[in-house]
């Protein structure tokens, strides 16, 4: 809108360019600023200039939640799809309507989860994780606030002010010591913790240091071979530049029966997506176990550590995988749902003690 007038010339020019390439769309989605759709005359004007039927011009004004977009598209595009497919059955949008209610509802139960990360100036970097946390909170009829904690300047005070902690994945040395400190704090103070990819690796390092391996670290960050509890497996050295050491895609894992991880999933065989290079060095399991962490899931052949947990904590679970990729707004991932449940229990217990 310029001077309170909707300008359609940019859209008309774009459509002319498409026709020049031999592309004749059946539908054109027109984005507009503001929350009110333009008058029908605007769509008619674009239709005349573009050769697209008026009903194929979909006006998409701004909405206050992304979950309203499918509802808007279904409403605007429904007649066009029915004509195109010959199927006039209206789609069932009940779940999307429920999501909109979840996203706009004010819940009595509220919790704060600390996300210990290094790219805190760009929340979109961790969008899959924050959305997975939202879905998990909705599953427990609660509302979550993300407290961004800079991994390079993390303090005990910041960690003590949240109900649970998530340490996400990442590459490189920067911020790793802060993430190790966060995992150690949660391990020591029984703060609900979910480690993802690098978040599992720093948890293992924290445990190994607590278990007597004072210089425990990751080969990625320059740890000496004898101290590298996170390492490149034999045969992988020298292949980093080719990508041959990256573990990508779905991998199966077998969970220890009776473990917190298995109880959270409700099964002992799972498949999760991966994107990482370094693995847990099982030669240091004695120190890791002495520090309070045990392996709760591994690859079917036992060579790769996939999950760890702290048996003495109410909820301290970490995985080498990326479970946030399997979370859905309609279906919270078990690991995130378990974290939220533990955080709510801790919150109630803490308030009771106060």
Active site residue ranges: 197, 322, 324
**CB neighbour list of residue 150: distance below 8 Å, 6 or more residues apart:** 117, 118, 120, 175, 178
Cβ atoms of 178 and 152 closer than 8 Å: yes
CA distance 152 to 251: 32
- Structure token pair of residue 113: 């989860």
- Structure token pair of residue 225: 């071979």
Report the relative pairing of strands 279-280 and 294-298 from DSSP bridges. unpaired
b/e sequence 119-146, b meaning 16+ C-beta within 10 Å: ebeeeeebebbbbbbbbbbbbbebbbeb
CA distance 188 to 40: 62
Cβ atoms of 229 and 205 closer than 8 Å: yes
For residue 189, the Cα-to-chain-centroid distance in whole angstroms is 25
CA distance 349 to 38: 52
The residue among 221, 215, 219, 208 whose CA lies nearest residue 294 is: 208
Cβ atoms of 339 and 186 closer than 8 Å: no
The 3-state DSSP composition of the chain as helix, strand, coil percent (nearest 5) reads 45, 20, 35
The DSSP output letter for 315 is S
> In sequence order, which ranges of 62-113 are alpha helices (DSSP H)?
69-85, 94-104
């Amino acid at each position: 809108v310029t001077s309170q007038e909707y300008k359609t010339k940019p859209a008309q020019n774009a459509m002319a360019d498409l026709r020049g390439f031999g592309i004749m769309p059946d539908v054109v989605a027109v984005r507009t600023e503001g929350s009110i759709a333009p008058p029908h005359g605007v769509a008619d004007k674009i239709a005349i200039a573009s050769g697209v039927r008026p009903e194929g011009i979909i006006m998409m004004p701004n909405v206050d939640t992304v979950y309203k977009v499918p509802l808007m598209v279904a409403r605007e595009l429904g007649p066009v799809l029915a004509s195109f497919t010959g199927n006039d059955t209206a789609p069932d949008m009940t779940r999307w309507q429920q999501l909109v209610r979840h996203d706009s509802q004010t819940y009595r139960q509220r919790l704060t989860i600390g996300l210990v990360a290094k790219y805190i100036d760009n929340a979109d970097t961790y969008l899959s994780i924050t959305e997975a946390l939202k879905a998990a909170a909705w599953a427990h009829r609660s509302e979550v606030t993300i407290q961004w904690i800079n991994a390079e300047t993390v303090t005990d005070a910041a960690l003590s002010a949240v109900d649970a902690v998530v340490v996400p994945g990442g590459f490189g040395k920067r911020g790793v010591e802060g993430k190790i400190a966060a995992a150690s704090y949660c391990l020591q103070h029984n703060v609900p913790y979910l480690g993802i990819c690098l978040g599992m690796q720093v948890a293992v390092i924290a445990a190994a240091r607590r278990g007597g391996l004072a210089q425990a670290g990751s080969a990625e960050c320059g740890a000496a071979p004898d101290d590298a509890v996170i390492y490149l497996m034999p045969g992988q050295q020298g292949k980093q530049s080719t990508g041959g050491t990256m573990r990508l895609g779905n991998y199966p894992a077998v969970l220890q029966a009776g473990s917190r991880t298995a109880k959270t999933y409700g099964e002992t065989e799972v498949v999760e997506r991966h994107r990482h290079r370094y693995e847990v060095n099982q030669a240091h399991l004695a120190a890791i176990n002495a520090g309070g962490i045990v392996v709760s899931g591994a690859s079917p052949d036992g060579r790769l550590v996939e999950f760890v947990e702290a048996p003495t904590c109410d909820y301290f679970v970490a995985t080498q995988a990326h479970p946030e990729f399997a979370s859905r707004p309609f279906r919270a991932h078990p690991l995130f749902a378990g974290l939220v449940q533990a955080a709510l229990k801790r919150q109630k217990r803490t308030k009771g003690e106060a």
